[in-house]
Chains A and B, each alone.
Chain A
Amino acid sequence: MELLLVMLIGLLYASGIYMMLRRSMVKLIIGLILLGNGANMLIFLLGRIVKGKPPIIDSASKMLTEIYADPVPQALILTAIVISFGLQSFAIILVKRAYKITATDDLDELNTTDEIYE
């Protein structure tokens, strides 16, 4: 399971970076989304995967003594997903707007800011 996740994460990071390095704005957004998902999976993996051990303290004892599934990474991932949802929707709208204004999907043509002398 861990090995599978490791490969998946590697694939997500690699394809995310690859897509970001393309010239197209749409591919840039896809790359960012893949990268964000890769990071979330990484948190999940590094929080240690424990099967069928919920962190519930039974009424007889005062604290957890056995191995249990850490709930913190899931809270972190949830937060990160919500944040990246907001940021990505903003980025998509921005790309749409940029496409309308510049009439191009090519990132290399976004260079008028370098020629503002006023």
Chain B
Amino acid sequence: MNNPYIVLPVIFQLFTAVLLMFFWFRVNAQRLITIICSLISVGIAIWLFNEVYNRGILTMQAGEWQAPFGITFVADIFSATMVLLTAISGMAVAVFSTGSIRNARLKFGYFPILNFLLMGLQGAFLTGDIFNLYVWFEIIIIASFVLITIGGEKAQIEGAMKYVTMNLLASAIFLTAIAILYGMAGSLNMADLSGQVAQIENRGLVNVVAILFLVGFGIKSAIFPLYFWLPASYHTPPPAISAIFGGLLTKVGVYALIRIFTLIFIPDEFLSNLLIIMAALTILSGGLGAILQVNMRKIFSYLIVCHIGFMIAGLGIYTELAILGAIFYLIHDIIVKTNLFLISGLIFKLKGTLNIEKLGGLYKKYPKYSLLIAIPLFSLVGIPPLSGFWAKLFLIEGGYLEGQYTLVGFILLGSFLTLWVIAKLWSEVFWKESVDLPKKINVKYFYELKPFKQWAMIIPIVILTVISLYIGLAAEHIVVLSKQISSELMNPSAYIEAVLGTKTDMP
């Protein structure tokens, strides 16, 4: 069904970013506008989700150029869910930033750039055109380059060097893949490509292109052996920025992988095996990396890598049940990872350090905050009935039914490693006797902040925690949603029909 308003989330983020630029040096006005506009954008995302959920796939053909000739925007239920999650995490990070980011950084245009980043993410989730996806990826990375370097500290610049290099390389590989795909199929529309690519006889070349896409998106979503830039850079910018990166930037890579490999390149045996091997090694290396670290944000960075492996595992098994698990995990992971990085920001403001060996006694001093923090930490581990448990259950069941026992073993090992890391973190940071830390001059502590800023840091964490509790306790809603997404992904004929407007004879 044609509906031109589905690009509203993108347009609204653009509008917010431009509006914020008029208040460049007036940081308090920027704070106010950001909070209001991020709430409105959540409202828009809920409207879009509701519309798609009730009416089915909505499309928009830019400039009335019919698909496959023009640029198409498609809101299927997967896109709409991702748009909603982006709006929610974007809102949480924006509100947190009003409390935690210093004025000096805000005067360099922090909020406008954050909104441009969110615009890029919304666009990437909504587009139905592969070259347009490339353009949205470029918008995302250039906004993230500015965010990772804003403030210009030594560690940030060094981290940014690695981040920028790997992302530019990934873009070049992505562009190469698009070039060869266009040369083979003569189309850029993803729905059209689905049929075109299936008819190409030279399967070797198709696999080469699929692998180029896998490498390009693999760098962005931090899959083994392409993830090394992530733990080297994600802990350098301020926590609010790490939160949006950790929550969404790797996930947009996963989204693109799931979309490409269910719609255009249906994995054959070779690709499935490759995905499964990569997933297993991602889980293993991320989990083992997290054990060794003492910096809390580096621990979380390695856990991102570890948990990306779960989603890739679901894609590698490639049954409806396993994809369901991967989608559920994706929904759970965006909320929880954003929350964890926000929590690391809160702990840094409370104690002035993130070294888990130096931290301690948080439970004794701040029992309420500790209980709040416990929920996302334990849902990350997947303690029933919290959110991570259900996702892993479906992944394991999906793997077990397909006879992928080794992969199931790796998923269990990954969960165990996560449990180990979080248990260590909990006992070091919350239960250990506290030691007196020397007061740092360049850190503004939590109790020195104005009450407004204190609330601005607490409320987003509460909201995200409530949402992850909802995902865990009302899991049947999320299961129904994930089931619908995965069945749409595995039978893309509805998507193709909605975009091209014709019946296709897809199997």
Contact = CB atoms under 8 A, between A and B. Distances in A.
Interface string B175-215: 11011101100101000000000000000000000000000
A35, A36, A112, A113 interface centre (most CB from chain B within 10 Å): A113
Contacts of B159: 113
B155 A90 contact: no
Contact of B172 (A39, A90, A94): A39
A38 B178 CA distance: 13
Contact of A110 (B161, B180, B188): B161
Given A20-B169, A87-B141, A87-B168, A113 B235 contact: yes
A110 B162 contact: yes
A83 B354 contact: no
A118 interface: yes
B164 interface: yes
A115 B189 CA distance: 45
A36 B171 CA distance: 9
Contacts of A112: 154-155, 158
B174 to A, nearest CB: 9
Contact of A94 (B134, B161, B178, B355): B161
A79 interface: yes
Contacts of B162: 110, 113
A111 B168 CA distance: 20
Nearest to A25: B161
A91 B157 CA distance: 11
Nearest to B131: A76
B165 interface: yes
B484 interface: no
Contacts of A72: 182, 188
A90 B131 CA distance: 22
Contacts of A40: 175
A80 interface: yes
A11 interface: no
Contact of B142 (A39, A70, A87, A114): A87
A62 to B, nearest CB: 15
Contacts of B157: 94, 97-98, 101-102
B467 to A, nearest CB: 30
Interface residues of A, number: 42
A90 B165 CA distance: 11
Contacts of A94: 145, 149, 157, 160-161, 164
B164, B168, B176 interface centre (most CB from chain A within 10 Å): B168
B288 interface: no
B182 A113 contact: no
Contacts of A47: 182-183
B294 interface: yes
A110 B163 CA distance: 12
Given A98-B158, A112-B158, A43 B178 contact: yes
A116 B295 contact: yes
A25 B131 CA distance: 30
B413 interface: no
B353 interface: yes
Nearest to B180: A46
Interface residues of B, number: 43
Contacts of A97: 149, 152, 157
A42 interface: yes
A98 B295 contact: no
Mostly, the B contact residues are helix
B155 A116 contact: yes
A83 B295 contact: no
A86 to B, nearest CB: 6
Given A36-B172, A114-B232, A118-B295, A83 B138 contact: yes
Contacts of B138: 83, 87
B86 interface: no
Given A32-B169, A79-B131, A113-B235, A73 B161 contact: no
Interface in A50-97: 70, 72-73, 76, 79-80, 83, 86-87, 90-91, 94-95, 97
B160 A42 contact: no
B138, B164, B172, B235 interface centre (most CB from chain A within 10 Å): B172
A39 B158 contact: no
B235 A43 contact: no
B179 to A, nearest CB: 4
A42 B131 contact: no
Contacts of A35: 169, 172
Given A90-B145, A94-B149, A113-B236, A102 B176 contact: no
Contacts of A110: 158, 161-162
Contacts of B294: 117
A39 B175 contact: yes
B282 interface: no
A20 B294 CA distance: 32
A83 B139 CA distance: 9
B98 interface: no
A107 interface: yes
B172 A32 contact: yes
B231 to A, nearest CB: 8
A16 B145 CA distance: 22
B277 interface: no
Nearest to A34: B172
10 contacts: A25-B161, A32-B165, A42-B180, A90-B164, A94-B149, A94-B160, A94-B161, A97-B152, A107-B161, A118-B295
Task: Enumerate the 5 nearest inter-chain pairs by beta-carbon distance, A residue then B residue, closest first.
Answer: A46-B183, A43-B179, A39-B175, A42-B179, A110-B158
Interface of A: 16, 20, 25, 28, 32, 35-36, 38-40, 42-43, 45-48, 70, 72-73, 76, 79-80, 83, 86-87, 90-91, 94-95, 97-98, 101-102, 107, 110-114, 116-118
